[in-house]
Structures are given as structure tokens and as C-alpha cells.
Amino acid sequence: MGRIMANQRQQLEQWTTVVADTGDMEMIAALAPCDATTNPSLLLAAARDSRYQSLLTQARSLAAEMGRGHDLTWCSDAYACLAGQAVLEHVPGLVSTEVDARLSFDTRATVERARRLMALYRELDVDPDRILIKIAATWEGIEAARLLEEEGTRCNLTLVFSLAQALAAAEAGTTLISPFVGRIQDWHVKRGLDIQHIDDDPGVQSVCGIFRTLKARGLETIVMGASFRNADQIRALAGCDRLTISPALLETLAADENPLTQALDAADVEPDEDWTPISEAGFRWAMNQDPMANDLLSDGIRRFAADQVALETLLSEEERAA
């Protein structure tokens, strides 16, 4: 009897924790990842799916129990937490729940909204150790994460497009960062870049640089590559701490039995003990000098904010129909 070959998803899982990038609970159950991550876009897609309509009704009821049944922001947060609770029934690890993107430039409001999300999870009897609060990697968001981590609430800094964002988040003690790959590629291709080889992909290069720099400096923040356009980008980052991958690309990897090579290994990184923490001024200057990171961070926040508004509209329509 011949030896059964491990597929590329199985090979990847030797070195990297696989996270499902979807809000579809049935798909998460079928894929059986370690963790899952959500965002306003994924939650909006789930809210429009007839299979999950009951969560909208439950969200209004949960907000009402907290004395906030007619506050759409409370209802949307309740919906996000109910979705997170449902996801956790299908994964053994963590779920990320995002703070309203409209608060991305307000440290205090971000901290308060994160505390609200954690209070809702406690109301649902969800173990707080299984939650990551997801925040956009603005300077204000990073400072909010610093405060929350000091309180014991773990954070996932998202919309990371530059080394400056990654370093500031890691130096703030953030549990995890999500540097994006596909959106960086999109930005450069739109401006005429012809990528002939995966090693020339600027999104892959960005995550590789972030991974190696954080490991060299002994920063313990988990690097989770996100936003993939194709399986080659995932293969080129095999060995990254975590990768959050769409169901379609997870299926592509599971169908491929070709050998996969570990591309990133913290053990191969030379230590760098001679470095200076990034300041607010240094962070803002670095972002000012990086049109790609500046454009994509702003665009990501706008997109998530728009989907947040659309979700609140759905909840409002659900209330009127009740």
C-alpha cells in the first residue's frame, strides 16, 4: 500500500497556525482551522445570509438586556460577539472581533468600545482568553492596544501595511498583528508593477521583512499574514507565525500534494540588539513617506466603516420589521 502524501495545507500546518478568514460558520466547521478572524465586511456578508438571520434578532435582544436595545452601535457589537461565540464553537483557539473602524483615530473611544465588546462576551459566558480585540493600526489604535494589553485584553492590530506600523504595535506589547499581502500587491499592480516571480511580490516582501525584523529584535508579537490573492503568496510565507486564509485558498492548498518548503523560520534570523523604539513622530513621518501604506490604511478604514454602517442599517430594518 503506497504512502499517503500530505497535502500543502497539512504541510503548512507543520510550521504555521492556520486561521480561517470567513464569517461563514458552516465553512469554518468544515475547514476546522485553529483560529478564526472576523471583520465588518465578513460580518456584513454573514448578516445578509438567510442562514444567520436569527443572529440579528438575538443581537437586538442581547443589547436590550444590557439596556441598549435601541442603540444601533450596541446592537452591532452584540451581533459581532454573537457571531464570535458561534465561531468559537467550531475552532479550538481564538476569534478576533473588530472595534468600529469609525473610532480609528480616537484612543479613548477605542478602549471604551473594546471594553464593551469584552463585557458582551462575558454576558455570553465566553472565555475572555479566547478573544482578540481587532483594531486598525493607526497611532491612536496602537496606543489603545497598549492600554488594553496592560488591562489583560489581548489585541490584534489590523490593516498593517508598513514596518513602522508593525514595530509600533509590537513595541506596544500587542499580542498579534495582521500585515496585509494582497492589498499591497493590488496597489503596486494598479500602478504598473509587473510581478514576474512570487519573490518579487511587494506584499510577500513586506510580511517577510516584518517577520524577520520582529524576530531579530526579540519582539514577541505574533505575525499573522492576511489578505491573500493566490496560493503562491501563502506558499511564499510558509513558516510565518500564523496566516489567515479564505476558504477557497484553503481548499486550493488541500488539493495540492506537491512538496512545500518552509520559507520563514525564526531560528534562522540573526539577533539585532542595537535598535531604538519608534516614537510617535517617527511613526507619523514613516507613514507620511510611504504613500502605499498611507493610502491603504485610509482605504481599509473607509471600507470597514462603510460596512459597519451597512450592518447597522440591516439591524435597523430588522427592528422595524419585528
CA trace torsion 129, 140, 241, 235 (10° rounding): 130
CA dihedral 155, 161, 166, 172 (to 10 degrees): -50
Active-site residue flag, 190: no
Give the DSSP letter of residue 216.
Answer: H
Q: What is the DSSP string of 236-275?
A: TTTTSSEEEE-HHHHHHHHT--S-------GGGSPP----
Q: CB under 8 Å, gap of 24 or more: what pairs does 300-303 form?
A: 300/101, 300/136, 300/158, 300/159, 300/180, 300/183, 301/101, 301/104, 301/136, 301/138, 301/159, 302/101, 303/41
Name the active-site residue from 134, 183, 212, 242: 134
CA distance readout (Å), 137 to 14, 103, 115, 243: 29, 12, 18, 18
For 67, the 3-state DSSP assignment is coil
**DSSP H helical ranges for the chain:** 8-12, 25-31, 40-47, 53-65, 72-88, 107-123, 139-151, 163-171, 182-190, 202-216, 231-235, 247-254, 280-288, 291-321
Which residue from 142, 151, 135 is spatially nearest to 40, judged by alpha carbons? 135
Q: 32 in the Ramachandran plot: left (φ > 0), alpha (ψ -120 to 50) or beta?
A: left
Instruction: Return d(Cα 322, Cα 145) in angstroms, integer.
Output: 37
Q: Which residues are catalytic?
A: 134
